[in-house]
Amino acid sequence: MLLEFNTPSSLILSQFQQIVGAEHVIVDPDKRHDYGHDETEDYNFLPDVVLKPSTAQQISDIMKLCNQHQIAVTPRGGGTGLSGGALPVKNGVVISTERFNRILEIDELNLQATVEPGVVTYTFQEAVRAKGLFYPPDPSSRGSCFLGGNLAENAGGPKAVKYGVTRDYVLNLEVVLPTGEIIWTGANVLKNSTGYNLTQLMCGSEGTLGIITKIVFKLRAYPQKEVLLLVPFVTNEEACRAIAAIFVAGVSPSGLEYFEREAAIKTKKYLEETMNTSVGTDFPENMDAYLLIELDGNNEEQLMQDAEKVMAVVEQFQVGEVLFAETATQKDELWKVRRNISPAVNAYSLTKSEDVVVPRGNLPKLIVGIKEIGVKYGFNSVCYGHAGDGNLHINIMKEALADAYWHKEVNEGIAEIFTLVVRLGGTLSGEHGIGIAKRPYMPIAMAEANLQLMRGIKRAFDPNGILNPEKIF
Binding positions for a copy of itself, 252-311, rule CB under 8 A: 252, 297-299, 301-302, 305
- Shortest approach of a copy of itself to residue 60 CB, angstroms? 11
Which of 185, 254, 267, 351 lies at the binding interface for a copy of itself (CB under 8 A)? 185
Cβ neighbours of 47 (radius 10 Å): 27
- Shortest approach of a copy of itself to residue 453 CB, angstroms? 6
- Shortest approach of a copy of itself to residue 23 CB, angstroms? 32
Which residues neighbour 267 within 8 Å (Cβ) at sequence distance 6 or greater?
Answer: 279, 337, 340, 341, 344, 345
- Shortest approach of a copy of itself to residue 317 CB, angstroms? 16
**CA pair distance 105, 22, nearest whole angstrom:** 30
Does 250 help bind a copy of itself (rule: CB under 8 A)? yes
Does 357 help bind a copy of itself (rule: CB under 8 A)? yes
Rule CB under 8 A: which of 383-412 touch a copy of itself?
386, 389-391
Does 176 help bind a copy of itself (rule: CB under 8 A)? no
Which of 13, 89, 103, 177 lies at the binding interface for a copy of itself (CB under 8 A)? 177
Rule CB under 8 A: which of 209-238 touch a copy of itself?
209, 220-221
Report the DSSP beta bridge partners of residue 374.
none
Which of 80, 96, 121, 205 lies at the binding interface for a copy of itself (CB under 8 A)? 205
Which of 56, 203, 383, 396 lies at the binding interface for a copy of itself (CB under 8 A)? 203
- Shortest approach of a copy of itself to residue 145 CB, angstroms? 14
Torsion of CA 328, 236, 138, 200, to 10 degrees: -150
Which of 27, 55, 57, 184 lies at the binding interface for a copy of itself (CB under 8 A)? 184
Rule CB under 8 A: which of 417-436 touch a copy of itself?
422, 425-434
Degrees to nearest 5, angle at CA 75 with 73 and 78: 150
Rule CB under 8 A: which of 119-138 touch a copy of itself?
132
The SS3 of residue 146 is: strand
Upper half-sphere CA count for residue 317 (Cβ side, 13 Å):
29
Piece in contact with a copy of itself (CB under 8 A), picked from 19-27, 33-41, 121-129, 196-204: 196-204
Which of 89, 127, 201, 322 lies at the binding interface for a copy of itself (CB under 8 A)? 201
Cα separations (Å) of 41 from 44, 123, 284, 404?
A: 9, 27, 30, 15
Helices (H), 318-400: 328-339, 341-348, 363-377
Which residue, 260 or 354, has its beta carbon nearer to a copy of itself? 354
The SS3 of residue 177 is: coil
**Residue 427 · residue 421 · CB < 8 Å:** yes
Piece in contact with a copy of itself (CB under 8 A), picked from 153-161, 263-271, 320-328, 408-416: 153-161
- Phi, psi dihedrals of residue 214, rounded to the nearest 5°: -145, 150
Closest CA to 43 of 77, 73, 93, 84: 84
Which DSSP helix (H) or strand (E) runs through 104? strand 103-107
- Shortest approach of a copy of itself to residue 124 CB, angstroms? 19
Q: Is 451 left (phi over 0), alpha (psi -120 to 50) or beta?
A: alpha
- Shortest approach of a copy of itself to residue 106 CB, angstroms? 13
Which residue, 263 or 358, has its beta carbon nearer to a copy of itself? 358
**Residue 323 · residue 282 · CB < 8 Å:** no
x/- binding map, residues 445-464, to a copy of itself, per CB under 8 A?
A: xxx-xxx-xxxxx-xxx---
**CA pair distance 244, 233, nearest whole angstrom:** 15
Rule CB under 8 A: which of 63-122 touch a copy of itself?
107-112
- Shortest approach of a copy of itself to residue 51 CB, angstroms? 23
Which residue, 31 or 423, has its beta carbon nearer to a copy of itself? 423
Rule CB under 8 A: which of 311-330 touch a copy of itself?
none
List, as one string, the DSSP characters of 111-124. TEEEE-TTSBHHHH
Closest CA to 165 of 391, 350, 346, 356: 391
Does 443 help bind a copy of itself (rule: CB under 8 A)? no
Which residues neighbour 190 within 8 Å (Cβ) at sequence distance 6 or greater?
Answer: 171, 218
DSSP 244: H
- Shortest approach of a copy of itself to residue 472 CB, angstroms? 6
**CA pair distance 344, 140, nearest whole angstrom:** 12
Rule CB under 8 A: which of 9-38 touch a copy of itself?
none
Does 368 help bind a copy of itself (rule: CB under 8 A)? no
- Shortest approach of a copy of itself to residue 237 CB, angstroms? 15
Piece in contact with a copy of itself (CB under 8 A), picked from 159-167, 256-264, 311-319, 345-353: 159-167
**CA pair distance 76, 323, nearest whole angstrom:** 41
